[in-house]
């Protein structure tokens, strides 16, 4: 009895600290055992973690090799490497931010207020619809019911730090954005607004849903490129995939509509690792390059069967504009490498052609870009062509010093003309196009204003690239004219006539995507969406510039770096 009771009590005494206090040898032994066990456990953990890291690197490497294998099998020569955007917010403002000038800060807040007014009106009256009609306070589905304004606004909300609004928009994209629509959509408009808007939101936020949706809609657009020449049809049914061209072009494809998908589809290939998007759109440029004229100017109609141009207008305005813009921007997106050299060469050729269209008005010597049909020049310029000063300024640094200065000077002269499109009207808002008659400088042709962004876009580039604050002043004046004429209780409207100020009933989605974004950035430090790191699509959606590798080139796996707690909108 005694023995059976005392045995456990002897064992338990080893757990009593008092036991060791009286026995230093046992205490030392216990300490050594403790150190040894701790080291053993720590060592196991470290090995496990290292193995996990190694495993994930191997998985990434495997994924990369699978993509390369796929490319080799297809034998297409197009090299794409999947880029993973982090799920963390990207820091798009560099660390060396200069303190923001108080006047700029105040103006930026005013622009942000304008965005809040436009967005909250859209939320209130047109949620989920393509566009808001502010006077009648309802939504309309002008793009097939793809939530065009919502998708077009995502990155602007993000950049401005309107986080709650961005989250609500993201919820809608996640739960309600449905592309399975029996609707004949414009390939161009859907690409620049929807694919571009989603990819930009993905690049900024790292939220996968945006990439998934971009892939979904791009896959629906892709059959449009299945033509004998590879030049796409400009309209496609989103549910059934049958494509065609509008009747009014006589069956032709439109230049801008066919050559303004490259940035978005290349970006999509880079982010998904699937080269099919990039192949289709790059092939269009290769095709056009085969017969590219010496002046680099293409008429606005292309035959998608023969791959030839049709007799039609040459213009940097409607239907021509963004073809030239994308030649330059794909070169920038491609890190100006040998693989994209032909884009820059084509763009420089087109700039020679542009110089041949440049004329000056009398008596005030405003510089403008005329249009051309056959051998005849037309003394007309669209406000749409006012993107050109920004494009020329952006491309000027790729020339040697003398050419660079010449082109920058041209960009500044053209921007002055575009600013005067605004200043010359009673409302201080520009009309849709201008004619230049000798002795009369500029005369408004089509006199509506639909909240277009091109002039403020150019002012943004010129301010970024020259540092000249005059461009901020001009942008501020234009913004004030929008506030005065276009702001109504239910949002922002265009004007039916810039002479009388009579209002229309439409808030274009590009007002939120482009006009307000460029104005906001005009009053933000240059590090917010740095032009060294981002390239804007033609709808002002910034796409992150990531490495573009030559075929067969080996490079370690890369990732777009994310800042741990990225925040940039509130700079
Ligand atoms: C936008 O949709 C794009 O900027 C396009 O390239 C031209 N037209 C509008 C804005 O005016």
453 lines ligand 1 (CB under 6 A): yes
Closest CA to 85 of 243, 206, 191, 260: 206
End-to-end CA distance of the chain: 81
At 85, is the pLDDT very low, low, confident or very high (cuts 50, 70, 90)? Answer: low
pLDDT at 28: 79
Return all residues near 553 (Cβ < 8 A) that are at least 6 apart: 79
The mean pLDDT of the chain is 89
Whether residue 191 is predicted with pLDDT greater than 70 in this model: the reply is yes
- Enter the tokens of residue 286: 């290769």
pLDDT at 562: 31
Structure-derived torsion over alpha carbons of residues 333, 336, 341, 342, reported in degrees to the nearest 10 = 30
Ligand 1, atom 3: nearest CA belongs to which residue?
Answer: 539
pLDDT at 179: 98
pLDDT digits (tens, 9 = 90+) for 483-503: 999 999 999 999 999 999 999
pLDDT at 86: 53
DSSP state of 445: S
Residue owning tokens 């998708």: 151
pLDDT digits (tens, 9 = 90+) for 366-413: 999 999 999 999 999 999 999 999 999 999 999 999 999 999 999 999
Q: Is 388 left (phi over 0), alpha (psi -120 to 50) or beta?
A: alpha
pLDDT at 29: 81
Percent with pLDDT over 70 in the chain:
83
Selected catalytic residue, list 207, 264, 321, 504 = 321
- Enter the tokens of residue 338: 């040998």
Q: Which domains does the chain possess?
A: 102-544 (1.50.10.10)
pLDDT at 26: 78
511 lines ligand 1 (CB under 6 A): no
Window from 53-67, 329-343, 492-506 with minimum mean pLDDT: 53-67
Alpha helices in 335-441 (DSSP H): 341-357, 388-396, 401-423
Ligand 1, atom 2: nearest CA belongs to which residue?
Answer: 539
Window from 35-44, 368-377, 529-538, 547-556 with minimum mean pLDDT: 547-556
320 lines ligand 1 (CB under 6 A): no
What is the length of the chain?
571
427 lines ligand 1 (CB under 6 A): no
Selected catalytic residue, list 339, 382, 432, 497 = 432
At 532, is the pLDDT very low, low, confident or very high (cuts 50, 70, 90)? Answer: very high
1 CA to centre of ligand 1 in angstroms: 98
- Indicate the burial class of 77 (C-beta count within 10 angstroms; 0-12, 13-18, 19 or more): middle
Whether residue 155 is predicted with pLDDT greater than 80 in this model: the reply is yes
For 372, the 3-state DSSP assignment is strand
Whether residue 152 is predicted with pLDDT greater than 90 in this model: the reply is yes
207 lines ligand 1 (CB under 6 A): no
pLDDT at 68: 47
- For residue 363, whether the previous peptide bond is cis, meaning omega lies within 30 degrees of 0, is yes
Whether residue 4 is predicted with pLDDT greater than 80 in this model: the reply is no
pLDDT at 412: 99
pLDDT digits (tens, 9 = 90+) for 111-148: 999 999 999 999 999 999 999 999 999 999 999 999 99
Would you tell me how many other CB atoms lie within 10 Å of the CB of residue 30?
Answer: 13
Ligand 1, atom 11: nearest CA belongs to which residue?
Answer: 452
Window from 83-87, 198-202, 474-478, 530-534 with minimum mean pLDDT: 83-87
539 lines ligand 1 (CB under 6 A): yes
- The question of whether 207 is a catalytic residue gets the answer no
How many CA atoms, within 13 angstroms, populate the side-chain half-sphere of residue 437?
4
539 CA to centre of ligand 1 in angstroms: 6
Ligand 1 atom nearest 260 alpha carbon: 6
Would you tell me how many other CB atoms lie within 10 Å of the CB of residue 389?
Answer: 30
Return all residues near 486 (Cβ < 8 A) that are at least 6 apart: 429, 449, 451, 492, 493, 494, 495, 503
Selected catalytic residue, list 454, 457, 514, 539 = 454
As a whole number of angstroms, the distance between CA 49 and CA 44 comes to 9
- The question of whether 109 is a catalytic residue gets the answer no
Mutation test of ligand 1: which of 452, 461, 482, 508 has the most ligand atoms closer than 8 Å to its C-beta?
A: 452
As a whole number of angstroms, the distance between CA 449 and CA 383 comes to 9
pLDDT at 91: 58
Pairing of strands 371-373, 376-378: antiparallel
Residue owning tokens 């909240």: 451
18 CA to centre of ligand 1 in angstroms: 83
- The question of whether 96 is a catalytic residue gets the answer no
Q: DSSP labels for 531-544?
A: TTTEEE-TTS-EEE
537 lines ligand 1 (CB under 6 A): no
Ligand 1, atom 1: nearest CA belongs to which residue?
Answer: 539
What is the average pLDDT across 206-220? 98
Residue owning tokens 């073809």: 323
- Cβ pair 461, 385 in contact under 8 A: no
367 is in an annotated binding site: no
Q: DSSP labels for 289-347?
A: HHT--TT----SEEETTTTEE-S--B-SSTTTHHHHHHHHHHHHHTTT-GGGHHHHHHH
538 lines ligand 1 (CB under 6 A): yes
What is the average pLDDT across 508-530? 98
- The question of whether 189 is a catalytic residue gets the answer yes
């Amino acid at each position: 009895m005694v023995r059976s009771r005392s045995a456990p009590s002897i064992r338990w005494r080893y757990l009593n600290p008092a036991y060791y206090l009286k026995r230093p040898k046992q205490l030392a032994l216990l300490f050594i055992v403790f150190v040894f066990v701790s080291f053993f456990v720590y060592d196991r953990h470290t090995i496990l973690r290292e193995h996990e890291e190694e495993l994930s690197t191997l998985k990434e490497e495997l994924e990369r090799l699978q993509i390369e294998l796929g490319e080799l099998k297809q034998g297409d020569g197009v090299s794409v490497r999947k880029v993973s955007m982090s799920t963390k917010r990207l820091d798009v403002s560099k660390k060396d931010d200069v303190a923001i000038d108080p006047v700029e800060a105040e103006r930026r807040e005013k622009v942000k207020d304008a965005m809040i007014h436009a967005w909250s009106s859209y939320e209130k009256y047109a949620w989920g619809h393509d566009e808001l009609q502010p006077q009648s306070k309802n939504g309309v589905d002008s793009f097939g019911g793809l939530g065009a304004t919502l998708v077009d606004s995502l990155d602007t909300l993000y950049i401005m730090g309107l986080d709650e609004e961005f989250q609500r928009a993201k919820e809608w994209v996640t739960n309600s954005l449905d592309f399975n629509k029996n609707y004949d959509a414009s390939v161009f408009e859907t690409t620049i607004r929807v694919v571009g808007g989603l990819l930009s939101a993905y690049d900024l936020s790292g939220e996968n849903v945006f990439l998934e949706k971009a892939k979904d809609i791009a896959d629906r657009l892709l059959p449009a490129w299945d033509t004998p020449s590879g030049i796409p049809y400009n309209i496609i049914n989103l549910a059934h995939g049958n494509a065609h061209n509008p009747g009014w072009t006589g069956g032709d494809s439109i230049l801008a509509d066919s050559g303004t998908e490259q940035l978005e589809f290349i970006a999509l290939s880079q982010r998904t690792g699937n080269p099919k998007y990039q192949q289709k759109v790059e092939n269009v440029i290769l095709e056009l390059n085969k017969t590219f004229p010496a002046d680099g100017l293409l008429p606005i109609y292309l035959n998608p069967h023969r791959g030839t141009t049709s007799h039609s207008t040459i213009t940097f305005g409607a239907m021509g504009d963004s073809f030239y813009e994308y030649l330059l921007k794909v070169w920038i997106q491609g890190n100006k490498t040998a693989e994209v050299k032909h884009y820059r060469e084509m763009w420089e050729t087109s700039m020679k052609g542009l110089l041949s269209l440049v004329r000056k008005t009398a008596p005030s010597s405003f510089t403008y870009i005329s249009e051309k049909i056959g051998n005849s020049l037309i003394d007309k310029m669209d406000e749409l062509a006012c993107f050109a000063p920004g494009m020329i300024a952006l491309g000027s640094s790729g020339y040697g010093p003398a050419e660079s200065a010449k082109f920058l000077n041209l960009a500044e002269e053209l921007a002055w003309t575009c600013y005067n499109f605004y200043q010359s009207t009673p409302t201080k808002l520009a009309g849709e196009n201008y004619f230049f008659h000798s002795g009369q400088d500029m005369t408004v042709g089509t006199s509506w204003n639909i909240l277009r962004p091109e002039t403020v876009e150019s002012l943004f580039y010129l301010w970024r690239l020259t540092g000249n604050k005059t461009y901020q002043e001009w942008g501020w004046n234009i913004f004030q004219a929008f506030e005065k004429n276009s702001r109504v209780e239910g949002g922002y409207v265009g004007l039916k006539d810039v002479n009388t100020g009579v209002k229309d009933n439409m808030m274009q989605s590009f007002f939120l995507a482009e006009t307000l974004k460029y104005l906001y950035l005009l009053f933000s430090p240059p590090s917010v969406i740095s032009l060294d790191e981002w390239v804007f699509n033609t709808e002002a959606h910034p796409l992150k510039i990531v490495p573009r590798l030559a075929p067969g080139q080996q490079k370690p796996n890369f990732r777009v770096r994310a800042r741990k707690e990225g925040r940039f909108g509130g700079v």
